[in-house]
Amino acid sequence: MEIDQWRRDYVLGSLHRSELKPTPAKQFSQWLEEILAAGLDDPTAMSLATVGTSGQPSQRIVQLKGFDESGFVFYTNLHSKKARDMEVNPQVSLLFPWHPLERQVIVYGKVQPVAREDAVTYFQSRPLNSQLAAWASRQSQPVSSREELQKQFDLERSRFAGGEVPLPDFWGGYRVMPHAVEFWQGGAYRLHDRFMYQIDDGGLWTVERLSP
């Protein structure tokens, strides 16, 4: 496999300063609408990068479950590796890899827990089996086999049979409050369009173009 010879040009679009919305949340909303209209698979999937006590960066795919001017929200097990990393270092980064439209969005920010009532509302909106899986999984901890995981899932299904599945005390959400957001649009000859929003001390967003 001569992977060093694999390449393609980026010719689907461009991004101009005059087209940009005044805040990254508004610009993100516009792009997400276009992504949804294009029918991409997993349009809300994002890579979450964290750094724990060892200094080793770690990434995983999580799902965006809400956003507004205050930040980007996702939910997870509060005992997971990502949660342990964020407890010691709340600085994180998100990446939305919208390759079919030759776009990326990178978010730099700090996490804060979402209100528990918001976590309850979201948890209750999940399919029943997803709720049970949250109880069954001790995320990021060793498990002896797939069979053992299935056994725990079946136990939880029996335990909550016929009743409402409550929010586990070890499960909740985080909001990534951005201080910088980059919008990347692929360009011909690798002359990509990159614009970085950054928030100043007064809470206002500034924008500058970055070289590709």
Annotated binding site: 65, 75-76, 81-82, 104, 122, 126, 130, 139-140, 184, 190-192, 194
Helix 128-136 to helix 146-159 angle (10° resolution) is: 120
Catalytic-residue membership of 159: no
- Catalytic position from the list 17, 116, 159, 190: 190
**Measured CA angle at 112 (ends 108, 117), to 5 deg:** 135
Q: What residues contact residue 106 under an 8 Å CB cut-off, 6+ apart?
A: 93, 94, 95, 96, 181, 182, 184
Dihedral angle sign, alpha carbons of residues 131, 106, 71, 22: negative
Binding positions for substrate are 65, 122, 126, 130, 190-192
Token pair of 52 as six digits: 């724990």
In degrees and rounded to multiples of 5, residue 93 shows phi and psi of: -140, 145
Binding positions for FMN are 75-76, 81-82, 104, 139-140, 184, 194
Catalytic machinery residues: 190
